[in-house]
Amino acid sequence: MSATQVINPATEEVLRTVELLDEAAVDDAVARAVAAQRRWARLAPAERAAGLRAFAATVDAHIGELAALEVANSGHPVAQAEWEAGHVRDVLTYYAASPERLSGKQIPVAGGLDVTFHEPLGVIGVITPWNFPMTIAAWGFAPALAAGNAVLLKPAEWTPLTSIRLGQLAVEAGLDPDLFQVLPGAGAVVGERFVTHPDVRKVVFTGSTRVGTRVMAGAAAQVKRVTLELGGKSANIVFDDCDLERAAATAPYGVFDNAGQDCCARSRILVQRTVYDRFMELLEPAVKGVVVGDPTARDTEMGPLVSKPHWESVAAYVPDDAPVAFRGSAPTGPGYWFAPTVLTPGRTDRAVTEEIFGPVVAVLPFEDEADAVALANATSYGLSGSIWTDNVSRALRVSRAVEAGNLSVNSHSSVRYTTPFGGFKQSGLGRELGPDAPLSFTETKNVFFAVEEL
């Protein structure tokens, strides 16, 4: 086995060293998870529900600790990190209601009785990204456990600390230690073994489209189920009939949240040409007003990028001759800081077509509704987006025409655990969250009982 150093991105200091598991350790974890899943599935639905509620209560008792870990490991502002820890608790609480409501059907047929059951798949492998480590993990493990499965979670190498702690809290809450296991390791080792191991019946992957295609191709060899939440290049469409002041004031938070390290970031702002100049006048003070700094400070709105390699990747999109309209501010000195940056490139510029995953946004004018829709859809991605208009008919037309899985009208909301989340095109496959999420971790079994006629 090897090890990796976990770095605080705001200070560049080493937080701790984390051991990375090898393939043999993964195989051992899978074997133990297979046995634990059978024990878990045999429990009464009410007992499984109680176990998830206990897990949620234990998370709730450690909100501050989890938030502090995320601040240190990921550079998330403390207020955001506290919300994220509370979100994990809420997702667990929501899916704790599922075991007692996972109902099949009785289907009318001739000659007997026909019923369906939702059987758990078995062992689920969840591979999470570094941008929202504990929240995205919960989207996978909570509904999977609720459906009667065991879960193996591989956190991103850069940001494993909150996931490791969640695994410990599950045991403290009374769950079987082998039921929910966190396995830190390299993607090419642990993640790859999730894909190839025959007893891992489904892989849930959140990350880049490039890696997601490899996961999907590998899973095909065993006809293994996958849920993929991949990249994005979402559009924030601003029509001339909207509340322009509000659209401009909120636009920075639609893209610079989590330093732009968000698959749902509205990293293309499309503005109707008739109000383009006025919008840019309003956008500049809003961008410069974003508070970038120490993530432990309560008033901080944006922290650093996650790592030096990622900082270099983002910086490559803003060379010295980039069409920078204006920038916000960021600290100097240690830390992977990058100021919020607004570009005004051409429609084919790589800053418009590629996912930057940082606090860089491109603003482009459009002529009319048809042009706005065409420009919004001129991408291989289709995850999220916003539409700003006071015309209800236009809002409905455009929301139906834009090829994206999660749209928001006159706001930038994308993810609620009570509603489904996922992408079109190369932004992914399948849906997470919402009331039906546990069903995606089950197989439907149909059973016919012949009835003898009197």
Active-site residue set: 229, 263
DSSP E strands in 207-328: the ranges are 225-229, 235-238, 268-272, 324-327
For 289, residues 6+ apart whose C-beta sits below 8 A from its C-beta are 252, 328
CA 13/CA 264 separation, integer angstroms? 29
**DSSP letter at 373?**
H
Cβ-Cβ contacts under 8 Å for 32 (sequence gap 6 or more): 178, 181
Report which DSSP code applies to 187: I
Beta-strand pair 112-120/442-450: antiparallel
Please classify residue 312 by burial: count the beta carbons closer than 10 Å to its beta carbon, then call 0-12 exposed, 13-18 middle and 19+ buried: exposed
The span from the CA of 128 to the CA of 159, in Å, is 10
Based on its alpha-carbon atoms, the radius of gyration of the chain, rounded to whole angstroms, reads: 23
Alpha carbon 5 to chain centroid, angstroms: 24
Please check whether residue 341 is in contact with residue 323, taking contact to mean a CB–CB distance below 8 angstroms. no
The answer to whether the CB of 153 falls within 8 A of the CB of 163 is yes
